[in-house]
Amino acid sequence: MKKKIIIAVILCVILLTPIPRFLKDGGTVEYNAVLYSVRKVHSINGDGYNVGTEVRLLFWEVYSSVEYQP
């Protein structure tokens, strides 16, 4: 019984622990895990910036509030 609990905890840690990645596009940060990803967007786009947050579960985009700021 204890062995199953330990395996379940290790599996949850592997699937849910995010790894940050800093992009060189103006300040975007991605947090990627196996089951989800979160992007805090701050990228240069022409004369302004794209700013906002994107959340993806597996391969589907669940939330996006990215908008252009002149």
CA dist list (Å): 58 to 6, 22, 33, 44: 24, 20, 9, 27
**pLDDT surpassing 90 at residue 46:** no
Residue 1: what pLDDT? Answer: 84
In percent, how much of the chain has pLDDT > 90?
79
pLDDT at residue 28, as a whole number: 95
pLDDT in tens, 5-32: 999 999 999 999 999 999 998 899 999 9
State the pTM of this model. Answer: 0.82
Q: How many CB atoms lie within 10 A of CB 46?
A: 8
